[in-house]
Structure 1
Amino acid sequence: MYNLNSFTIMLRTIHRYVGRSRTYNFRTARNLSSTLNYDIEKYDVTIVGGGIVGLATARELLLRNPDLKLCLLEKEHQLSIHQTGHNSGVIHAGIYYKPGTLKAKLCVEGLKMLYDFCDEHRVPYKKCGKLIVATEAEEIPRLDNLYARALENGCTVSIVEGKDIQTFEPHCRGLKAIHSPNTGIVDYALVARTYGKEFEKKGGTIKLAYQVEDFKQSSDADYPVAIIGNHDYQQVHSRYVITCGGLYSDRLATISGCDSIPKIVPFRGEYLVLKPEMSHLARGNIYPVPNPALPFLGFHFTPRMNGDVWLGPNALLAFKREGYNFFDFDVKDSYEAATFRGLRKLVMKHIGAGLGELSRAASMRLQVKKLQRFIPELRVEDVQRGPAGVRAQALDTDGNLVDDFIFDSGSGQLSQRMLHVRNAPSPAATSSLAIAKMVVDESKRRFLL
């Protein structure tokens, strides 16, 4: 009797000897597999997506249901290398979000849960704090409104007058600020991998390099969902499936009959980095007062766990869903974005801001000018180009940013077996443990687990 691992080893051995032959491919392997008796692995629940939300969900599901046989599938050879691995690392306090919304509730709850998890599992973090700084008189009413919102959300915050700002940030200047002592920084990729280690330690299975291509009805009534990978030998059967696909959440959802809207549009955020000898310019996070007319928070100073200080990010349309470099391009991703009415409407709403982002992307001097509002002594010579991340932004057909969580199941035979997390907006990393509780609650309601 062959199990799947031994069968895979056999295929690789065959490939080693006949791989140079143009007539051998994985279609041959599929035909060969049909003549052999090997076991297809079967699970009670399979989670698709090895980012921080998928891993937190897998962990939470197993903690509540230790007798279930669970599997997590990740398309890359490592966990959490995309949105999670390119995250700025900020542990948000919940200041920005409209009171009463899920984003506000989950962020405040998730902050505490994350710090407790890091303490328990010895994941290093720093509570370096955060200042949201008004540098112009017209920003002060917005800052005051933000302070009232933060208090309503249950955040620990205080008002700092201009003369006292340098008590927290000696190089920063401003008229007034909000101080958030509980804002911190952490390596979210390490957090996510720690979720994964706990999941495996408690009996869960993680399969890497498993890119899900399709969901089909299997012939096994007890495990009716066949999850097909992009290699012919990759197939597992499951009673239920939860997808947490991040940048590909819309595509995974449409496989099982969900509507294509909201659509994921990728936005790349590029950072500058303070040169090491200038990292003393910022002790903690320094943020502008957000402009409510714009969809992003603006340029800010973000310290990192390794001692770096990131500056930015900008927000540019990416021409590839995993396009971390300026010239990365994918035909399918670009065509989908260009032909999507919602993106065209978004661009027209914010065309002035978009042109400004393009200008700053081409000029470090223009980016530094934005940051000098807070730290006047910052110079172009003090910075260098840094990394970039890609944000999975969900859009509707009217060009509105979808700002809340969306669950979907699709239609057809498999719909009662599927749960798609179609949108887990920022601050999803901070809120990951609280989001996981919500996802597992929803799966319990739908699947009667």
Structure 2
Amino acid sequence: MSRIVIIGGGIVGLATAKALSETLPDVPLTVLEAEDRVGVHQSGHNSNVIHSGLYYPPGSLKARLARQGGELMIRYCEEHGLPVDRRGKLVVATATSQLVPMAELARRGRANGVTLREIGEEEVRELEPDVAGIAALDIADTAITDFAAVTRSYAAELAARGVDLRLGARVAAVDRPGARDGGPVVVRTERGEELEATVLVNCAGLFSDRVARMCGVDPGVRVQPFRGEYSALAQRAGTTVHRPVYPVPDPELPFLGVHLTPGVDGTVHVGPNAVPAFSRTGYRWRDLDASTISAWWRDPGMRRLARSYWRDGAREVVRSLSKPMLVADVRRLLPQVRSHDLRRAGAGVRAQAVDDAGRLVDDFVVRATPGAVHVLNAPSPAATSSLLIGRYVAGLAREAYDGTPAPDVAAVVSG
């Protein structure tokens, strides 16, 4: 049977299925999700911020998808009755050494079409009386939502359209007899299912590089899981925030630093940090996977990464294990915070692509091969931009399916 199979029931995989079900409504479509529900991993464990496009280098795939993607996400939430609140955010400088990188952020943001203002200490106090800062960027376009609810909404739409969404269907093998000549791809799951596909779309997130290798494709990157641990902040006099509050990030790292994020449920989360995880689903220090650890030591690229960032990594590990260090970092933004104001509130695991040279890959990586499309790196703002990313990946999948030329990114964004 001529069908398209998508591996991965996270927000990007389901957004891709949603786009394909709209453009190819008569083509059988199956989504395979390894877990017993959708959005179990990255889609359901994040800061729930709809990003504005502030951080990304102008011209990058992230920048081109983030700005309009965020507006589409806000509209989608409003139209489907999902929680969403466009309350803006502050990126706060707490030292003069941060003013130059903050100015660069402002330049990037304006180049990407972000609505922002550069404000001084007095206005920071007016907007967030408990936050300490000598200057800030006031970003109007940022919103908050619940991306787990968004993911479930995508799944409900697919079910209503008759898309075959299979839960608990972990992929065990992919055979590609004759795929280069237009022959089918055969996908086998651990529970014994066997599906023939004309096109396979790999949206496996934390396992995307492994799925690519199952397909006989060298992904050119490997996924390193990083755990981000969250704390919940008690809201009392001196520790109240009304909108997301972020520090000025280190431009050398693809992580945004410990930030404060009010959720749609009223909870204020602090975090995440970024510590290496020793399992691709390593939500706790005791979650260990021998193959993940072995890959660290056998892979020259991963060893180069460790040599390059060991100081940053060591600091993140110490902060994970030392609450006083976490409190000290939070107090740079909220001076009145005390240890008893913070409690552990879960963690997420981020799939971070690392290239052969041991560099952290900051942009989206999507690779089309005969009979397949592989989403190999989809970091933040993947959830924010998922509707546009879904259209982009679906265009590549349709080209592989029936030869219809895939639209370029500019056409996806404008359309």
Q: Same fold (TM over 0.5)?
A: yes
Q: Distance in 2 between matches of 1:100 and 1:408?
A: 18
Which amino acid in structure 2 is aligned with residue 432 of structure 1? S
Q: Distance in 1 between matches of 2:371 and 2:362?
A: 26
Q: SS state of the match for residue 419, structure 1? A: strand
Alignment of 1:236-251 (within 5 A): 236-251=195-210
Question: In the TM superposition, what whole-angstrom CA distance separates every residue of 1:133-161 from its partner, at most 9, and x where no partner exists?
Answer: 01111111111111111011001111111
CA drift of 1:189 comes to: 1.0
Displaced runs of 4+ in structure 1, greater than 6 A?
A: 218-223
Given the alignment of the two structures, is residue 185 of structure 1 paired with residue 139 of structure 2, yes or no? no
Matching residue of 1:170: 129
Question: In the TM superposition, what whole-angstrom CA distance separates every residue of 1:278-327 from its partner, at most 9, and x where no partner exists?
Answer: 79611111101111123311111011122111111111110000010121
Matching residue of 2:413: none
Q: SS state of the match for residue 144, structure 1? A: helix
Q: Distance in 2 between matches of 1:362 and 1:258?
A: 39
Question: Residue 296 of structure 2 is aligned with which of 326, 332, 337?
Answer: 337
The answer (yes or no) to whether the contact 2:176–2:215 under 8 Å persists in 1 is no
Matching residue of 1:227: 187
Gaps of at least 5 residues in structure 1 are 1-41, 411-415
Given the alignment of the two structures, is residue 57 of structure 1 paired with residue 16 of structure 2, yes or no? yes
Distance 1:402 1:167, change over 3 A: same
CA drift of 1:43 comes to: 5.0
The answer (yes or no) to whether the contact 1:223–1:237 under 8 Å persists in 2 is no
> What is the aligned-residue identity percentage?
38
Q: Distance in 2 between matches of 1:226 and 1:257?
A: 13
CA drift of 1:409 comes to: 4.8
Q: SS state of the match for residue 131, structure 1? A: strand
Which amino acid in structure 2 is aligned with residue 444 of structure 1? R
Gaps of at least 5 residues in structure 2 are 405-415
Given the alignment of the two structures, is residue 203 of structure 1 paired with residue 157 of structure 2, yes or no? no
Aligned residues: 402
Question: In the TM superposition, what whole-angstrom CA distance separates every residue of 1:168-196 from its partner, at most 9, and x where no partner exists?
Answer: 21211111100112211111111011111
Given the alignment of the two structures, is residue 355 of structure 1 paired with residue 289 of structure 2, yes or no? no
Question: In the TM superposition, what whole-angstrom CA distance separates every residue of 1:367-407 from its partner, at most 9, and x where no partner exists?
Answer: 11111111111111111112111000000121111122323
The answer (yes or no) to whether the contact 1:94–1:108 under 8 Å persists in 2 is yes
CA drift of 1:212 comes to: 0.9
Distance 1:290 1:408, change over 3 A: same
Q: Distance in 2 between matches of 1:218 and 1:354?
A: 43
The answer (yes or no) to whether the contact 2:62–2:381 under 8 Å persists in 1 is yes
The answer (yes or no) to whether the contact 1:267–1:318 under 8 Å persists in 2 is yes
Given the alignment of the two structures, is residue 138 of structure 1 paired with residue 92 of structure 2, yes or no? no
Matching residue of 1:432: 386
Question: Residue 274 of structure 1 is aligned with which of 226, 233, 253?
Answer: 233
CA drift of 1:112 comes to: 0.9
Alignment of 1:104-115 (within 5 A): 104-115=63-74
Question: In the TM superposition, what whole-angstrom CA distance separates every residue of 1:45-97 from its partner, at most 9, and x where no partner exists?
Answer: 11110000000000011111222211111011100111111111111100000
Q: SS state of the match for residue 322, structure 1? A: coil
Which amino acid in structure 1 is aligned with residue 184 of structure 2? P
Which amino acid in structure 1 is aligned with residue 185 of structure 2? V
Q: Distance in 1 between matches of 2:210 and 2:352?
A: 14
Q: Distance in 2 between matches of 1:225 and 1:241?
A: 7
Alignment of 1:290-369 (within 5 A): 290-369=249-328
Q: SS state of the match for residue 5, structure 2? A: strand
The answer (yes or no) to whether the contact 1:44–1:223 under 8 Å persists in 2 is no
The answer (yes or no) to whether the contact 1:256–1:409 under 8 Å persists in 2 is no
